[in-house]
């Protein structure tokens, strides 16, 4: 039986330890490293011979999506499986765009998670069925990359001028992007637009 060498990246120590303990019970899976954030995961993936990296999406600094992109781009053959609390349909599309091989939620039973790791290691793609359905119903992300940037800045309460300075845009251009994002999300103001975009995993 071939050993599947796994990295777990999650900013919650209890979650990391819990996943590691469950997976180490599997005869063919060995957790060889744990990371507290995306940057550490990328560094470890560059140092170790890994088969599969389990990555939380929302981590401080480098997110799981950004870490996935870098790990896949390194070309060392490590496959990435996203494990997250947030079953937001937009995350699924962004994960696969980043190069992930699978996407499951954290309440997936241990046996199913282990099987997902085996499938990803074998070169298959794994998707949580309920999330796949939600993603199809939600459709693609309607926001342009620049509209996403503007909404991310707006989520911190920044004014149009502050957003413009951060993104090197004029205040008028920022307002245009905000207006477009509000229209695309079917909301009444930028606060609601940020909420809808975040809920759908578009930011």
Region 28-50: what's the mean pLDDT? 94
pTM attached to this predicted model: 0.67
Share of the chain above pLDDT 90, in %: 49
DSSP letters along 38-102, please? HHHHHHHHHHS--SEEEE-S--SSS-HHHHHHHHHHTTS--EEEEEES---HHHHHHHHHHT-SE
Tens of pLDDT, residues 2-26: 899 999 999 999 989 999 999 999 9
**Phi/psi-derived region of residue 135, left when phi > 0, alpha when psi is between -120 and 50, beta in every other case:** alpha
- Higher confidence at residue 22 or residue 94? 22
How far is residue 63 from each of residues 67, 69, 169, measured CA to CA in Å?
6, 10, 25
Answer yes or no: is pLDDT of 31 > 70: yes
Average pLDDT score, the chain: 87
Going from the N-terminus, what domains does the chain have, and what CATH number goes with each?
Answer: 4-136 (3.40.50.2300), 145-200 (1.10.10.10)
Region 98-120: what's the mean pLDDT? 90
């Amino acid at each position: 039986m071939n050993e599947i060498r796994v990295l777990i990246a999650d900013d919650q120590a209890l979650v990391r330890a819990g996943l590691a303990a469950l997976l180490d019970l599997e005869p063919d899976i060995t957790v060889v490293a744990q990371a507290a954030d995306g940057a550490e995961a990328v560094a470890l993936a560059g140092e170790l011979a890994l088969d599969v990296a389990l990555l939380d999406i929302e981590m401080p600094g480098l997110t799981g999506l950004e870490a996935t992109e870098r790990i896949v781009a390194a070309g060392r053959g490590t496959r990435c499986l996203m494990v997250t609390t947030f079953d937001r349909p937009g995350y699924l599309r962004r994960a696969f765009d980043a190069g992930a091989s699978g996407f499951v939620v954290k309440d997936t039973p241990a046996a199913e998670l282990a099987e997902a790791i085996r499938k990803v290691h074998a070169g298959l793609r794994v998707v949580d069925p309920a999330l796949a359905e939600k993603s199809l119903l939600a459709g693609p992300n309607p926001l342009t990359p620049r509209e996403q940037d503007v909404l991310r800045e707006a989520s911190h309460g920044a004014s149009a001028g502050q957003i413009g300075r951060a993104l090197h845009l004029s205040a008028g251009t920022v307002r245009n992007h905000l207006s477009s994002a509000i229209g695309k999300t079917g909301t009444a103001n930028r606060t609601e637009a940020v909420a809808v975009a975040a809920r759908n995993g578009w930011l």
